[in-house]
Amino acid sequence: MASLLKTIRPPRLRPRLSAFSTPPTLRRPTAPLPLIHMLKPTVQISQRAFSTQRPSPNHGQEISHEMPKMSWKDLGASRTVKIVVIIALSIVGTMETIFYVKLFMRKFFPSEEKPVEDGELAIEDAKKSTTEGRLPAMGFNSWNCFNEHINEEKFLTAAQQLVDLGLKDLGYTYVNIDDGWSDKDLWRDPETKRIIVDTNKFPDGISGLADKVHELGLKLGIYSDRGTKTCASYPGSMDYEEIDAKTFADWGVDYLKYDNCFIPDEEEDEYPWAPEWWNTTHDGNKIHAPESYDFSTSHSAQRYRTMRDALKRQDRIIQFGMCNWGHAHVEKWGNETAQSWRIWGDILPQWTGHKDHIAWGVMPILNHALFHLSQTNFWGHADMDMLEVGNGLTPAEDRSHFALWAILKSPLLIGTPLDKISPETLAVFKNKELIAFNQDESFGVPAWPYKWGVNADWTWNQTHPAEYYSGNSTAGLHVFMLNTLEETVTKTAVFDEVPGLDSTKKYIVHDMWSGEDIGIYEKEFSIPVESHDIAALRFNEASEGAEEPLKVQGSRGKNLQQPL
């Protein structure tokens, strides 16, 4: 009886989720075992073992449950007990009938209310529903262009420019404050312990700025740190997570970037950063984590979960972006903690990095991101850091930088002064086709490299990472060919090599930069690509009798720039 009772559970038709849950995989609904079976003389139940996890030894096999024979005598029941049981069975039978009727009605006569699915988020206790964080965040962040030298005027200017330049309409909706917004001298209110805003920079406070940003139809983001201080030595949130989360919610904040500086020695991770392909920690010491070590138990994971849980308890949806630089194998626990998680150090406007930070350029970050692709999908995004487009890279490098961040489903946060932006830079940010790939509602996985190019496949190389990528979107199959060399190179997409292309078929090749069809091709397609530039192409199968479009001449470069 005890083992049988464990199988009886109330129906749960709406799984309870939070803004930080990985969405449930849809599985075949199963009804609870009817209680009436308990008192049948013999019951033979046969069901299939369905699983959304890895196949088990009996996956898909028939499982037979033989129920023991029972009788009133076996139960030793008195007349009173029999009456009570009969009444209970009547009630349960009625409830069970209602359950199956509801199940039938929901299946064949659905109401206007949608069930909770992959693209929906339910927080029942707060009576909130959102899809926030399902797709990579898009907007503006202040650090790359202003560092800590920020004020309300700069953010209002950025917000207004997002609207006036048409960027808001393309999905750039976050206006994110980075480090430097709080009072470096006063720190916290002695009574409430809330962080004190620097009113010289923000005379109306953060809540006043939030109101103005919201009036433009945009969202406001803010910055804090899991340590005792932020990276620029402003107050951090360690041991104040609950207070700070409540403060941010009260102010009307919509996004939190959470950094990783000034961690006390006792809070440092034993194995901060030990990717298998590098086998060193972040400080260069070769301290190998045991193979069985669970990085989700690290101090980093625990501290980030503390802030996650504090945010969940608020009556406001606040998207959570972790900035822990890839420490403690964040890809192993990041998706259950935040909507995005940084994979590397701070980006610089350099193609291959600076002499003091060789690993922080566009190519080193790309190289690192390629080893985190399997963890990126809806609700969880490997954050390659803010965009440096418009901050000193060449036009070709700007295009490649933006395209690579977009196709790998990284958040797209502009980091250049929008009131001084050039038409060429703006055109990169406004490429509708690359944005559509990044924000695709049906395909959450990023583009994948199908060939490395300069090096052998899956080579760890921070100068010449993978050059050939393919990926799907609702618009078709895409191929991206990067040129990491210092000269123009003709790049060829061989259909037999590209996953999803058929060498026996013809395809219309479309240039995602110019927005024009190039022509109909079969077996392969070649295009000259300038140094550090990238060809961004879409392939759609040509129908029988399709007319050949006018072929666009030229290389993948400035002459095929998409018009505004």
Is 449 a member of any domain? no
Q: Is residue 145 part of a domain?
A: yes
Average pLDDT of the chain, as a whole number: 80
At 16, the pLDDT band (50, 70, 90 cuts) reads very low
C-alpha to C-alpha distance for 372 and 367, rounded to whole angstroms:
10
Report whether pLDDT(455) > 90.
yes
Contact criterion met (CB below 8 Å) for 116 and 15: yes
Residue 488 and residue 436 in one domain: no
Higher pLDDT, 455 or 128: 455
Examine the domain organization and report whether 156 and 301 are in the same domain: yes
Q: Which residues are catalytic?
A: 259, 346
How many of the other CB atoms lie within 10 Å of CB of 26?
10
Look up residue 474 and give its two tokens. Answer: 């609702």
CA–CA distance, 258 with 327 (Å, rounded to integer)? 14
Model confidence band, residue 184 (pLDDT cutoffs 50, 70, 90):
very high
Both 226 and 169 in a single domain? yes
Least confidently predicted of 16-25, 86-95, 207-216, 371-380: 16-25
* Dist. CA 323–CA 330, nearest whole Å: 10
Is 268 found in the same domain as 387?
A: yes
**The predicted structure's pLDDT at residue 559:** 34
Q: Is residue 206 part of a domain?
A: yes
Across 12-16, 247-251, 398-402, least confident range: 12-16
Provide the CATH number for the domain around residue 497: 2.60.40.1180
How high is the pLDDT of residue 546?
65
Distance CA 418, CA 325 (A): 27
Termini Cα distance of the chain: 71
pLDDT value, residue 156: 99
Which tens digit of pLDDT belongs to each residue from 287-304? Answer: 678 888 999 999 999 999
Phi-psi region of 11 (alpha: psi -120 to 50; beta: other; left: phi over 0): beta
Which has the closest alpha carbon to 305: 174, 16, 378, 313? 313
What is the pLDDT averaged over residues 225-235? 98
Is residue 239 predicted with pLDDT exceeding 70? Answer: yes
Same-domain status, 45 and 84: yes
- Band the pLDDT of 356: cuts 50, 70, 90: low
The length of the chain in residues reads 564
Same structural domain, 111 and 138: no
Long-range contacts of 491-496 (CB under 8 A, 24+ apart): 491/467, 491/526, 491/527, 491/528, 491/529, 491/535, 491/556, 492/524, 492/525, 492/526, 493/468, 493/524, 493/525, 493/526, 493/537, 494/523, 494/524, 495/522, 495/523, 495/524, 495/525, 496/523
Listed range (214-218, 301-305, 369-373) with the worst mean pLDDT: 369-373
For residue 459, being part of any structural domain is answered with no
How many of the other CB atoms lie within 10 Å of CB of 455? 15
Domain boundary among 424, 441, 458: 441
In a domain, residue 446? The reply is: no
Q: List CB contacts of 202: < 8 A, sequence separation 6 or more.
A: 151, 152, 181, 208, 209
Per-residue pLDDT band for 357 (boundaries 50, 70, 90) equals low
CATH number for the domain including 248? 3.20.20.70
Do residues 245 and 313 both lie within one domain?
yes
Asked if the structure places residue 142 within a domain, the reply is: yes
- pLDDT for the residue 131: 85
- Reported confidence tier of residue 273, pLDDT bands at 50, 70, 90: low
pLDDT value of position 353: 77
Model confidence at 252, pLDDT cuts 50, 70, 90, reads very high
- Tell me the average pLDDT across 206-221: 99
* Least confident residue range of 81-95, 191-205, 269-283, 319-333: 81-95
> 393: which 2 tokens?
């890279």
Count of structural domains, the chain = 3
Q: Is residue 457 part of a domain?
A: no
| pLDDT band per the 50, 70, 90 thresholds, residue 62 | very low
**What's the pLDDT band for 88 if we cut at 50, 70, 90?**
low
Indicate if 289 and 405 belong to the same structural domain: yes
Residue 429's domain comprises 133-441
Q: Do residue 120 and residue 168 come from a single domain?
A: no
Instruction: Give Cβ neighbours of residue 556 (< 8 Å, ≥ 6 apart).
Output: 481, 491, 511, 513, 527, 528, 529, 530, 533, 534, 535, 536
Among 126, 149, 166, the domain-final residue is 126
pLDDT for 474 beyond 70: yes
